[in-house]
A and B are shown apart, each in its own frame.
Chain A
Amino acid sequence: MYYPPPAQEHQHMVTQLVKCPKCKTKISVTGNPGEKIYITCPNCQEKGFYVLPRVQQEEGRSTEPAAIVVRGLTKCYNNFKAVDNLSFTVKKGEIFGFLGPNGAGKTTTIKAILDLIHANEGEITINGIDVRTHGKEARQHVGYMPEQVAFYDNLTALQNLRFYAEMKHVSKDECSRLIEEVGLGDVGDKKVGAFSKGMVQRLGIARASLGNPPIMLLDEPSGGLDPRGVVLVRDKILDLKKKGVSIFVSSHILSEIQEICDRVGIINKGRLVAQDTVDALGKKLNLKPQITVTVQKMSPEIEKAVKKIPKVDHVTVVGNTLEIVCDATTKATVILAISSAGGTIVDLQMKEPSLEEVFMRYTEA
């Protein structure tokens, strides 16, 4: 199946103050980088144009490198291409969701970003640092939570964390604070061998947060957690985003990804099949919202009235309930049509196109 190439990344609008060459009045110009803007001076009516700079200049500071850049990543295991020519970018300060079915190559990609596995081809940079040539330096910018979180069973939670903290030159007090933060304050002096999976996972979050890294790589962070743990992880991710941390998160819990991610990348059979915001992906696939309307008494007139509306794709009637798939702009028309046809609406539910649908469509065989 052919998928359209990812849309051009959204460019940030640029605003510049320019001076009228004749009367020196300051005029604010807004547009995309590189765009030619025609201006008429509001003071002297002098006409002219201004080309906005391609590289956004913020108070003399040049643009910073992206948090993670992956270009043409390929990894083979005995002639099997686990990851095939993968390219994507995680921008500074964004939450990037990485989705894909089991065995699609998510963990392989994450491990390649950290240079834990050696890629056959491709270029990976973390904050502009090449991980293959300057691995140690690049990894200092990253907090990593592996899919399979493991610690040393014979050591206590605090001893474990302190060991990792020593490598990052993080203080002992910070370890105690992090342990409290993930809700393990009471069991900090217990051996990790006696911990439940959820507790180990929480300790994993604390370990990834050591030294406040500007980039976080989280591989299935909610896996094996109870609902309280899932909320803790979500809050933690949102909290990190507020602090300006760039987050790359792979997850199976699509609703969670939809809720927190700025953009998502979908990987299937080692290839990146989509990369954009959830809304934009939904639009690309022409996914439409579904309205479920329950009326007091169903009549053939109501069904007919709805079906007559242009841009209504599909209508199903089950008892007193109508399930309507229609264009987003037609939702109000549908409701009005039901009322006009004599239907008394007793319940109304709207379902926007979900990431699940996007995911299913992009990863179908």
Chain B
Amino acid sequence: MKTDTVISIAKKEIMDNIRNKWIILVSIMFAVLTLVVSYFGSIMSHGWQNLGNTIGGMTSFASFLISIIAFMLGYATIIGEIERGSMSALLSLSATRFEIVMGKFLGLGSVLCFTVLVGFGAAGIVIGVNVSNVDYLQYLAFIGITMVFGLVFLSVALFFSTVFSKRSTALGGTIFLWFLFNIILPIVFFGLLLTTIDITTITPESTLTVPLWYYILELFNPISVYSALIGVTIGPVSSSTGAGIIPNPSWYSPGLLLGVLIIWILVFFILAAWRFNRKDV
């Protein structure tokens, strides 16, 4: 692998996508949403919330939005270029397939991280100006975790863009995947959990005992892992998934959860490189 080829491809992806109006729009949306959540987030309180509360409110928004933007960036990156005809030229210029996958992941990953940084960062500064005793370190950790989470979905999208032979089917596939992780899996996992619990025994005072298998299943949904990771590193989060309502077990350590996210990234990146290597262009 030649580093300069990878850097050239990554640079091209950044230049090509930074002008994509959707990406600009999403960054602005992040900033506006964060500010809205921070200002109106709690019915009980008025005015600006501190960053901790904002993060709590933002986690589920972020998981929705970041997964969309990562899919948008990645779903057609390989198949789109094959379909348009620019991939054959790129390969003929003696770039290897692995260099292309690596360059694209780094380039699109940078765009994604930049969007998160600009969107949340801008909002963070506004909140910081209006609120005293701001824990910037905590907020930076939130941004960092969100970036890693975004890269998981980018890696999955990259793999999808090598699996299908048409851009349109890749789009269909990623939309299904988005629903799967954001809606279907949480409902299925939660449904399974409910079948094992006798609801009549639950009183407001009792503590919910959640079986181990549920926590293990949750590790297979990066969105749950993200919420749990924010929960164990920063504080309680409101989430659309079960992870928000159900307490995190003591063995959910930041290292373990971060490791799971990184495994997700690596597995799908390797799958993408393997699949693209076998693909006819």
A residues with CB within 8 A of B: 111, 114, 116-118, 135-137, 139-140, 142-144, 146-152, 154-155, 159, 163-164, 166-168, 204, 207, 210, 217
Q: Is the CB of B15 within 8 A of A136?
A: no
Please tell me if B86 contacts chain A, counting CB pairs below 8 Å: yes
Please tell me if B85 contacts chain A, counting CB pairs below 8 Å: yes
Q: Is the CB of B12 within 8 A of A155?
A: yes
Q: Is the CB of A146 within 8 A of B85?
A: yes
Q: Is the CB of A146 within 8 A of B89?
A: yes
Given contacts A139-B92, A152-B12, A164-B93, 17 further A-B contacts (CB under 8 A): A116-B91, A118-B280, A139-B93, A144-B92, A146-B85, A146-B88, A146-B89, A148-B85, A150-B84, A151-B86, A154-B16, A155-B16, A163-B8, A164-B90, A167-B8, A204-B89, A210-B93
Given the known inter-chain contacts A117-B280, A118-B278, A150-B89, please indicate yes or no for A139 contacting B94, CB distance below 8 A.
Answer: yes
Q: How far is the CA of A199 from the CA of B269 in the complex (A)?
A: 36
Q: How far is the CA of A111 from the CA of B94 in the complex (A)?
A: 14
Please tell me if B50 contacts chain A, counting CB pairs below 8 Å: no
Given the known inter-chain contacts A136-B96, A166-B4, A167-B8, please indicate yes or no for A150 contacting B86, CB distance below 8 A.
Answer: yes
Interface string of B85-129 (1 = CB under 8 A from A): 110111111111000000000000000000000000000000000
* Nearest 10 CB-CB pairings of A with B: A148-B85, A144-B92, A117-B280, A150-B85, A150-B86, A150-B84, A116-B281, A166-B8, A139-B94, A167-B93
In the bound complex, residues from chain B placing their C-beta under 8 Å from that of A135 are 96
Cross-interface CB contact of A114 among B11, B81, B91, cutoff 8 Å = B91
Q: Is the CB of A140 within 8 A of B94?
A: yes
Please tell me if B20 contacts chain A, counting CB pairs below 8 Å: yes
Q: How far is the CA of A111 from the CA of B19 in the complex (A)?
A: 32
24 contacts between A and B (CB under 8 A): A116-B91, A116-B92, A116-B281, A117-B280, A118-B278, A139-B92, A144-B88, A144-B92, A146-B85, A147-B85, A148-B84, A149-B89, A150-B81, A150-B85, A150-B89, A152-B16, A159-B15, A164-B89, A164-B93, A167-B90, A167-B93, A168-B94, A207-B89, A217-B92
Cross-interface CB contact of B94 among A116, A136, A154, A163, cutoff 8 Å = A136
Number of A-B pairs whose CB atoms are under 8 Å? 77
In the bound complex, residues from chain A placing their C-beta under 8 Å from that of B169 are none
Contact residues of B between 208 and 266, Cβ < 8 Å to A: none
Question: Which residue, B5, B84, B94, has most C-beta atoms of chain A within 10 A?
Answer: B94
Chain A nearest CB from B186 CB (Å) reads: 36
Contact residues of B between 1 and 44, Cβ < 8 Å to A: 4-5, 8, 11-12, 15-17, 19-20
Chain A nearest CB from B280 CB (Å) reads: 4
Given the known inter-chain contacts A114-B91, A114-B92, please indicate yes or no for A167 contacting B86, CB distance below 8 A.
Answer: no
Chain B nearest CB from A194 CB (Å) reads: 13
Q: Is the CB of A154 within 8 A of B96?
A: no
Q: How far is the CA of A143 from the CA of B280 in the complex (A)?
A: 19
Q: How far is the CA of A117 from the CA of B82 in the complex (A)?
A: 12
In the bound complex, residues from chain A placing their C-beta under 8 Å from that of B11 are 163
Residue tally, chain B, CB below 8 Å to A? 26
Q: Is the CB of B88 within 8 A of A114?
A: yes
Q: How far is the CA of A163 from the CA of B4 in the complex (A)?
A: 11
Chain B nearest CB from A31 CB (Å) reads: 42
Q: How far is the CA of A168 from the CA of B90 in the complex (A)?
A: 11
Q: Is the CB of B93 within 8 A of A116?
A: no
Q: Please name the residue on chain B nearest to A160 by beta carbon.
A: B12
Q: How far is the CA of A107 from the CA of B27 in the complex (A)?
A: 42
Given the known inter-chain contacts A117-B280, A117-B281, A168-B93, please indicate yes or no for A154 contacting B19, CB distance below 8 A.
Answer: yes
Q: Is the CB of A149 within 8 A of B85?
A: yes
Chain B nearest CB from A268 CB (Å) reads: 22
In the bound complex, residues from chain B placing their C-beta under 8 Å from that of A148 are 84-85
Given the known inter-chain contacts A111-B281, A114-B92, A207-B89, please indicate yes or no for A167 contacting B84, CB distance below 8 A.
Answer: no
Q: Please name the residue on chain B nearest to A219 by beta carbon.
A: B88
Q: How far is the CA of A142 from the CA of B91 in the complex (A)?
A: 11
Chain A nearest CB from B84 CB (Å) reads: 4
In the bound complex, residues from chain A placing their C-beta under 8 Å from that of B15 are 154-155, 159
Q: Is the CB of B280 within 8 A of A144?
A: no
Q: Is the CB of A116 within 8 A of B280?
A: yes
Q: Please name the residue on chain B nearest to A148 by beta carbon.
A: B85
In the bound complex, residues from chain B placing their C-beta under 8 Å from that of A116 are 88, 91-92, 280-281
In the bound complex, residues from chain B placing their C-beta under 8 Å from that of A117 are 280-281
Q: Is the CB of A111 within 8 A of B88?
A: yes
Q: Please name the residue on chain A nearest to B278 by beta carbon.
A: A118
In the bound complex, residues from chain A placing their C-beta under 8 Å from that of B86 are 150-152
Q: How far is the CA of A136 from the CA of B96 in the complex (A)?
A: 7
Chain B nearest CB from A183 CB (Å) reads: 20
Q: How far is the CA of A118 from the CA of B95 in the complex (A)?
A: 16
In the bound complex, residues from chain A placing their C-beta under 8 Å from that of B84 are 148, 150
Q: How far is the CA of A124 from the CA of B19 in the complex (A)?
A: 41
Chain A nearest CB from B23 CB (Å) reads: 11
Question: Which residue, B84, B88, B90, B93, has most C-beta atoms of chain A within 10 A?
Answer: B93
Chain B nearest CB from A118 CB (Å) reads: 6
Interface string of B48-88 (1 = CB under 8 A from A): 00000000000000000000000000000000010011101
Chain A nearest CB from B250 CB (Å) reads: 49
Q: Is the CB of A167 within 8 A of B5?
A: yes
Chain B nearest CB from A358 CB (Å) reads: 30
